[in-house]
Structure 1
């Protein structure tokens, strides 16, 4: 292949790469959610989807997409904890402190 032909192919490939990058769907912005509390083995659900133990969520955090989300923390023998939060693009991290209350005997 001649040098000018190689340059033409290279230019076409570079142009195609730039076009593909421009057309690729962008990653939606997320807001960091940090939850900590007095019962590290309690279960955390967001929008009725199990996320993990409270200790795991406290350590790792959760990336919330923009919108309203219901955060629920539950542990047998304790009243459930529930909060509705709204994540907006560009917001600082949402920090929640969960204090589960024991159900009286």
Structure 2
């Protein structure tokens, strides 16, 4: 029984070493003056700013375009770069009302 346990433990270690690792991500945290504004990242619709503020978004390494839009306001747009091992990216979104 001892030999089979050691062999099983060795297989588990080997399988873990050979398994593909999950891609590293960087946490994106946002907050702003319009919680119901809509967030888009790299042309993917994410949801309301309040949702992103509460949950955050995991960004894979690379450059990403973040857009926040709300009717009656100028769009807010930023280009961010996520690098493996970076601390969370924190963005403060201040939407500006379009004058009448």
- Structure-1-length-normalised TM-score: 0.88
Q: Which residue of 2 aligns with 1:62?
A: 57
SS in 2 for 1:59: helix
Q: If you compute each CA radius of gyration, which structure gives the higher value, 1 or 2? A: 1
Q: Provide the rounded CA distance (Å) in 1 between the counterparts of 2:48 and 2:39.
A: 6
- Structure-2-length-normalised TM-score: 0.92
Where in structure 1 are there 5+ consecutive unaligned residues? 1-5
1:29 aligned onto 2:24: yes
Q: Provide the rounded CA distance (Å) in 2 between the counterparts of 1:90 and 1:11.
A: 35
Where in structure 2 are there 5+ consecutive unaligned residues? none
Count, aligned residues: 100
Please state how far the C-alpha of 1:7 moved relative to its aligned partner.
Answer: 2.9
Q: Which residue of 2 aligns with 1:43?
A: 38
Alignment RMSD: 1.1
Q: Provide the rounded CA distance (Å) in 1 between the counterparts of 2:4 and 2:97.
A: 70
Runs of 4+ displaced beyond 4 Å: none
